[in-house]
Every structure is written in structure tokens, then in C-alpha cells.
């Protein structure tokens, strides 16, 4: 019999026993005759009036039966009505009298004999009462509290005694319909995983030559790149059961629970072979154990869980078709024992998509969306460099919601533009009212960015300029549209990026003779680019090819242990770095000032047009930046 079925039977029997006990107690209470408490004086009065039939004597009380109609009338209760419905005698004849301490026993017996009352002695016992109130009721209360707590924190009473059972979800062949057709933009990762699918479908093809499938496949990538979707697609393509759970579900407060859950997971997977086990966020249990040597501190429960996982992977027989897949976005913190051959043999990098991959992802998510003929997904893909698959899916959904809110019949290009702006910069803050002077400063600032970008050769083309506030602190935005994805950048290209970032600050200085606080983010990014050029990219003739910065000691590399070591260069070198960074920024600032001084008339006219329309894009923006219809002055 399966463990889950046997537990259901056990708890069903327990529920039945409790119900029978409660019904028995209720029946005995309802069918018991109603008793009237009499004072000793009233009892003696009834006794001397010959209205007592029977009396039972104990050390504490007298319990007897009076003649019919002798006892005083009592108000009816709900229990009396239930007794009447059940056929119980509703005549009040049973009474009890509390004995007075020190009463003469012989005198009471003499009185009973005188009035010819049948009497007898009874040894008082409290066994059943003690059992009920001392054991049954407290035990029932404890069981009720225990079941309530387990239902709230343990997922139900059937899991109260099964902390060590795995909390995985399993999808069988009928439920799992995700295939590689539902995944786009990660062609290299899919090509790596096709071999896993082929082995699960045709294991004899590989076993014939002595080959074996990798025991473990680790999917490495940033959040939102589609690691979980790829794992589901592998199981869907191979048509095998899919066990999935998060690494955090192994770790509990009690030491040893996680290890027990790992054992239970692999035991259940053996019964379902061939299958795929997928552990998401592996770093929750797979962090490096080097911390116990004194650098990071230890965690007994997590380490025992990791040790059990390593042991199960050593005994994992992939020849049956079982395969372990895991995902993480922090591979640098994983324990080296997990990554050695024989455990996670293969690492598949799931990177962010390029422009063609982004277009494919957009087409995939746009299949269920009604698109207008003006929508160009290639332009949207070009506008979203660095976006992951989840970000692109969010953009498509946001655009559909915006179009529905405006009661459109199809999603238009403007809806996608607005959705991208929402994701990149946040919601519009039209309630944020700027003064005329602030709007004027913001307009010249953004036009300075746009003019510099349009005037240098290696800058990305300007797509849109707006002074509508967005997000927390953005009072305006200048959007550039990359023509292609870049993986390498030259020194001149980096300097051009710094020039575009400084365009807004220099424009304020040129027009107003002073600067505002609006350029703080531009200055941070420009300084970061300049610092990287000097310390990491070897683009400073004065400092040469060396890189500078605190480097992690060799014995800590690969352990996942954080290192906040001090710099490895002298004060003179630090001073030289500061001077080189400042020189790059000053040299670029002079270059930008020359460009904007030459085109000051275009800057002023473009700022005026931007204040009037709040947003410039497309052909209108091109004409403004080209200075068409106006005379430029040197």
C-alpha cells in the first residue's frame, strides 16, 4: 500500500473514533434524567411529608427519587426539548442533596426507616469523571491545536508526521505541454539540451557505444532569461515526468529535514524513471562550505542537505534515463564539489538574447495579441538592448493592457513605446508640476544630450526626447536606439558615450552660466566609464596595461566567500588614477562644449520646441536636430 493512501486511512479511522466518542458523550448527556439540587431543609420537609421513594447515601451527597410532582417546577431548557425529541422522561423526580459535615448517620437512617423510604449506601467513585476531565478533554484539546498548527504551517494534517517528505511538484506526460517551440532567443542553449532530449528518447543509441548521458545539467543565467522554461521544454520534448521544486524548499528550521527530503525526492524519481528532476535556485542549498573555516560561518541544516545531495548524485544512475537539472544566477557561490565531473557534468549558459533573439521572443509572446499593421517588432527589439525574455513578455503584456484601456481594436506601435518607457523609466508623473524655470532647464538639458549624440559619429541614434517626468527622480529622458548589439567597445566609443552623458550638464552651463543638480546620475555614469577605462581596460597611457583594484586571494577564489580586501596599489598610483579619470572627463567636457557652442542656436530653438510639445520623436526630432528652418551661429 502506498504511504499516502495508508496515511489517509489512518486519519480517517482517527476521525471516526473521535466522532463516535463525541456522539456517545452527547447521547449519555441528553438521555440522562434531569437532576434537581435540593437543600437539606427541603429534603427533610419532603421526607417528613412521605414524598421520597428511594435514597442513595454517599459520603458527600444524598441522591434519591421523589414521588411524582413532589419536586418544585424548574424552567425548561434546550436540553429538555432535545430529551423530549429523543423520548427521554421529562418528569423531574431525581434530586441530589449535599450532606452537612458532621451529621449523625444513625439519626438519618432512623428517619428514613420511620417514613419507610427504601435506602442503600453507595461508594462514591470518580473514575469516569476523572478520566473525562483529566484525560479525554485535555487530550482532545491538544490534538485539535496540533492539527490546527499542522494545517497552517505543514500543509494539512496528512503532512503532520511527514516533515521529511519532498515538497516537489510533478507533471506527467499529459500535463506538460511545453516544448522547444515555446522557447526563443536562446538557440545555443537549446542546441546544448537537444542531446539530453535525444538520449531520453533513444537511450540505446548512446549506450550502444558505451556513452552515458551527463548526470547533471546546470543552467546558468541572469534572472528572467528562461532557465525554468528551458527545463520544462526538455521534459516536454522528451515526454517524461518532470519533478520541480525550489532549493529553498529543502531547508527547514530542524536539522536533517532537508537531507530527508533529498532522499525522498530521489527515491520517488527512481520509481518514475525515465524522468527529469529540476531544482531551481540551487544556490539556496549549494553555497560553498568554505565558510566553516572561519570566514563566513556555517549552517548545519543547509550543509547536511548539500552533503545528502552530493551523496545522491554519486549514486545516481543516469543509464535508466534519470537526469538532474538545476538553475542558478549565482554560479560563483556554488560549492566546487557540485561542479566537478560526475555530478553537474555540463553547464549551459542561458544568456540574454541579442537583437534577433529579442525579435523572436517578441513574436512568440505576440501570437496571442492583436497587432496593428504599424507595429514593427524589429524596431522594438532594437529599442530593448539588455532585456531578458521575461522583460520582453512584460512589455507585450503592458502594451496590450494600455491598448485595452484606451479601447483600441489592436495594439499599436505607440502602445509598445509607452510600455517600454514604463519598464525602463517608470510611470509618467504628470501630477509632478514643474515651474517654468525648471521646465526650461530640463528642456535645455535633454536637448544637450540629443544634440551631442547627433553630432558625433559613434553614438547611437537619438530615438526620442521628452521632458515628461517619470519614475522617482527622472524629470526628462533622451532615448537612443542602438543599431546593433555591441560586445566590444573601443576607446573612442567609450569617450563618445561619456560625451553624450556630459551633454546635458554642459548645455546648462552654456545657456545659464551655472549648473543644477539634475546631472548627478549622468556624472556618476560618466565617472564609472572613465574609471573602468583607467583601472580595468588599460586605456591610460600614463598607467599602462596593468589593472588596478582589490584582488581576491587565490585560496578564496571559487569558494563564494565575499572579499572586501584593501587595494593592492600605492597612494601614488591612486593619485595617478584620480588624475587620469579627471583628465578624461575634463577633456571630454571641453569637446562637448565646443560642439554645443557651435550649435547653440539649434540648442535654444530645440529646447523651445521641446517645451511646447513635451516630446519629440521621429521626423520632427530629426528636423529639429538638423536645424532645418533656422540659422545656426558659431
CATH code at position 49 = 3.30.720.210
Prediction pTM value: 0.64
CATH code assigned at 417: 1.10.8.60
Active site residue 446: yes
Q: How far apart are the first and last CA of the chain?
A: 92
CB 273 within 8 A of CB 238: no
Cell of 166: 519532498
pLDDT of residue 231: 87
pLDDT of residue 154: 47
SS3 content of the chain, % helix, strand, coil (to 5): 55, 10, 35
- The verdict on 272 and 325 lying in the same domain is yes
pLDDT of residue 117: 84
- The verdict on 184 and 79 lying in the same domain is no
Q: The cell 525526492 sits on which residue?
A: 265
CATH code assigned at 472: 1.20.58.760
Q: Is residue 113 part of a domain?
A: yes
- The verdict on 418 and 441 lying in the same domain is no
Q: Is residue 15 part of a domain?
A: no
Q: The cell 517588432 sits on which residue?
A: 377
Phi then psi for 576, rounded to 5 degrees? -65, -40
pLDDT of residue 571: 84
Q: Is residue 129 part of a domain?
A: no
pLDDT of residue 248: 78
CB count in 10 Å sphere of residue 89: 12
- The verdict on 414 and 512 lying in the same domain is no
pLDDT of residue 158: 45
Helix segments in 513-570, DSSP class H: 520-535
What does the alpha-carbon distance between residue 457 and residue 38 come to, in Å, rounded to a whole number?
110
Strands 323-328 vs 276-280: parallel, antiparallel or unpaired:
parallel
Tell me if residue 54 falls in helix, strand or coil.
Answer: strand
CB 255 within 8 A of CB 304: yes
Identify the H or E element spanning 587. Answer: helix 571-598
Could you say which of 374, 390, 424 is where a domain stops? 424
Q: What is the pLDDT of residues 152-210, one digit of tens each?
A: 544 444 444 454 455 556 666 566 678 888 888 888 888 888 877 887 777 777 777 77
- The verdict on 459 and 606 lying in the same domain is yes
Q: What angle do CA 279, 281, 287 make, to 5 degrees?
A: 105
Please, which residues have CB within 8 angstroms of residue 137's CB and are 6 or more apart in sequence?
A: none
Closest CA to 291 of 243, 347, 333: 333
Q: Which of 192, 417, 446, 580 is catalytic?
A: 446
pLDDT of residue 634: 32
Rg of the chain over all Cα atoms, to the nearest angstrom: 41
Please, which residues have CB within 8 angstroms of residue 225's CB and are 6 or more apart in sequence?
A: 186, 350, 351, 352, 388, 389, 390
- The verdict on 359 and 320 lying in the same domain is no
| Backbone torsion region of residue 116, taken as left when φ is above 0, otherwise alpha when ψ lies between -120 and 50, otherwise beta | left
Q: What is the pLDDT of residues 508-557, one digit of tens each?
A: 999 998 988 888 889 999 999 999 999 999 998 888 888 887 554 444 44
Helix segments in 336-427, DSSP class H: 336-339, 355-365, 377-382, 389-405, 413-425
- The verdict on 360 and 343 lying in the same domain is no
Q: Is residue 139 part of a domain?
A: no
Residues in the chain: 634
Please, which residues have CB within 8 angstroms of residue 78's CB and are 6 or more apart in sequence?
A: none
Phi then psi for 146, rounded to 5 degrees? -60, -45
Domain hosting 553: range is 436-626
Within 67-204, strands assigned E span 94-98, 118-121, 169-171
- The verdict on 325 and 392 lying in the same domain is no
Tell me if residue 408 falls in helix, strand or coil.
Answer: coil
CB 498 within 8 A of CB 589: no
What does the alpha-carbon distance between residue 278 and residue 443 come to, in Å, rounded to a whole number?
52
- The verdict on 379 and 410 lying in the same domain is yes
Please, which residues have CB within 8 angstroms of residue 32's CB and are 6 or more apart in sequence?
A: none
Could you say which of 369, 403, 424 is where a domain stops? 424
- The verdict on 411 and 280 lying in the same domain is no
Q: Is residue 146 part of a domain?
A: no
Q: Is residue 548 part of a domain?
A: yes
What does the alpha-carbon distance between residue 497 and residue 492 come to, in Å, rounded to a whole number?
9
Cell of 540: 591610460
Could you say which of 88, 104, 124 is where a domain stops? 124
CATH code assigned at 240: 3.40.50.300
Structural domain count, the chain: 4
- The verdict on 217 and 344 lying in the same domain is yes
Q: Is residue 323 part of a domain?
A: yes
Q: What angle do CA 141, 145, 147 make, to 5 degrees?
A: 115
- The verdict on 544 and 621 lying in the same domain is yes
CB 420 within 8 A of CB 382: no
Q: Is residue 53 part of a domain?
A: yes
CB count in 10 Å sphere of residue 325: 30
What does the alpha-carbon distance between residue 578 and residue 599 come to, in Å, rounded to a whole number?
32
DSSP string across 477-499: EEEE--SS--S---HHHHHHHHH
What are the residue ranges in the chain where pLDDT is below 50? 1-6, 86, 88, 90, 153-161, 163-164, 292-298, 552-559, 561, 563, 631-634
Distances (CA, A) of 632 to 142, 343, 602, 618, 628: 88, 68, 6, 22, 9
Tell me if residue 526 falls in helix, strand or coil.
Answer: helix
Amino acid at each position: 500500500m502506498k504511504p499516502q493512501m495508508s496515511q489517509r486511512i489512518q486519519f480517517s479511522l482517527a476521525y471516526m473514533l473521535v466522532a463516535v466518542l463525541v456522539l456517545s458523550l452527547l447521547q449519555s448527556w441528553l438521555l440522562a434524567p434531569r437532576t434537581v439540587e435540593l437543600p437539606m431543609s427541603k429534603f427533610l420537609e419532603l421526607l417528613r411529608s412521605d414524598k421520597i421513594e428511594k435514597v442513595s447515601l454517599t459520603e458527600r451527597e444524598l441522591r434519591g427519587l421523589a414521588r411524582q410532582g413532589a419536586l418544585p417546577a424548574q424552567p425548561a431548557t434546550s436540553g429538555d426539548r432535545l430529551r423530549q425529541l429523543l423520548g427521554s422522561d421529562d418528569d423531574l423526580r431525581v434530586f441530589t442533596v449535599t450532606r452537612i459535615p458532621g451529621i449523625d448517620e444513625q439519626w438519618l437512617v432512623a428517619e428514613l426507616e420511620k417514613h419507610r423510604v427504601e435506602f442503600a449506601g453507595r461508594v462514591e467513585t470518580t473514575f469516569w469523571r476523572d478520566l473525562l476531565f483529566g484525560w479525554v478533554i485535555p487530550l482532545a484539546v491538544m490534538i485539535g491545536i496540533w492539527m490546527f498548527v499542522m494545517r497552517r504551517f505543514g500543509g494539512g494534517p496528512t503532512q503532520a508526521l511527514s516533515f521529511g517528505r519532498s515538497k516537489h511538484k510533478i507533471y506527467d506526460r499529459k500535463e506538460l505541454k511545453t516544448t522547444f517551440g515555446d522557447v526563443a532567443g536562446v538557440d545555443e542553449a537549446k542546441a546544448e539540451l537537444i542531446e539530453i532530449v535525444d538520449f531520453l528518447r533513444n537511450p540505446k543509441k548512446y549506450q550502444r557505444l558505451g556513452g552515458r548521458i551527463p548526470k547533471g545539467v546546470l543552467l546558468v543565467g541572469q534572472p528572467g532569461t528562461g532557465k525554468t522554461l528551458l527545463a520544462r521544454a526538455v521534459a516536454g520534448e522528451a515526454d517524461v515526468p518532470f519533478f520541480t521544486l525550489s532549493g529553498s524548499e529543502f531547508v527547514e528550521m530542524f536539522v536533517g529535514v532537508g537531507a530527508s527530503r533529498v532522499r525522498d525526492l530521489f527515491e520517488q524519481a527512481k520509481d518514475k524513471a525515465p524522468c527529469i528532476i529540476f531544482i531551481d535556485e540551487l544556490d539556496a542549498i549549494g553555497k560553498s562550505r568554505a565558510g566553516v573555516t572561519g570566514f563566513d560561518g556555517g549552517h548545519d541544516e543547509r550543509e547536511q542537505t548539500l552533503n545528502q545531495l552530493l551523496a545522491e548524485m554519486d549514486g545516481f544512475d543516469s543509464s535508466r534515463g534519470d537526469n538532474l537539472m538545476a538553475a542558478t544566477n549565482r554560479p560563483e557561490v556554488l560549492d566546487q564539489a557540485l561542479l566537478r565531473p560526475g555530478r553537474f557534468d555540463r553547464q549551459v549558459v542561458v544568456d540574454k538574447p541579442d537583437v534577433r533573439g529579442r525579435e523572436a521572443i517578441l513574436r512568440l509572446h505576440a501570437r496571442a495579441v492583436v497587432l496593428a499593421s504599424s507595429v514593427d517588432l524589429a524596431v522594438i527589439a532594437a529599442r530593448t538592448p539588455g532585456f531578458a525574455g521575461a522583460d520582453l513578455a512584460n512589455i507585450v503584456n503592458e502594451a496590450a493592457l494600455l491598448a485595452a484601456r484606451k479601447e483600441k481594436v489592436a495594439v499599436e506601435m505607440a502602445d509598445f513605446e509607452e510600455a517600454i518607457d514604463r519598464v525602463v523609466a517608470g510611470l509618467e508623473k504628470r501630477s509632478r508640476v514643474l515651474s517654468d524655470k525648471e521646465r526650461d532647464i530640463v528642456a535645455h538639458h535633454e536637448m544637450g544630450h540629443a544634440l551631442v549624440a547627433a553630432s558625433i559619429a559613434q553614438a547611437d541614434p537619438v530615438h526620442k526626447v521628452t521632458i515628461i517626468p517619470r519614475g522617482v527622480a527622472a524629470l526628462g529622458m533622451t532615448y537612443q536606439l542602438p543599431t546593433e548589439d555591441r560586445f566590444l567597445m573601443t576607446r573612442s566609443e567609450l569617450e563618445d558615450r561619456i560625451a553624450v552623458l556630459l551633454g546635458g550638464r554642459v548645455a546648462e552651463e552654456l545657456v545659464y552660466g551655472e549648473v543644477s543638480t539634475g546631472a548627478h546620475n549622468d556624472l556618476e555614469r560618466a565617472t564609472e566609464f572613465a574609471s573602468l577605462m583607467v583601472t580595468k581596460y588599460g586605456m591610460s597611457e600614463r598607467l599602462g596595461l596593468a589593472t588596478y583594484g582589490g584582488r581576491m586571494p587565490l585560496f578564496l577564489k571559487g569558494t563564494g566567500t565575499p572579499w572586501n580586501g584593501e587595494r593592492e596599489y600605492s597612494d601614488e598610483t591612486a593619485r595617478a588614477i584620480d588624475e587620469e579619470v579627471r583628465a578624461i572627463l575634463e577633456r571630454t567636457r571641453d569637446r562637448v562644449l565646443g560642439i554645443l557652442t557651435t550649435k547653440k542656436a539649434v540648442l535654444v530653438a530645440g529646447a523651445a520646441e521641446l517645451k511646447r510639445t513635451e516630446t519629440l520623436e521621429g521626423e520632427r526630432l530629426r528636423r529639429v536636430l538638423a536645424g532645418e528652418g533656422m540659422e545656426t551661429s558659431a
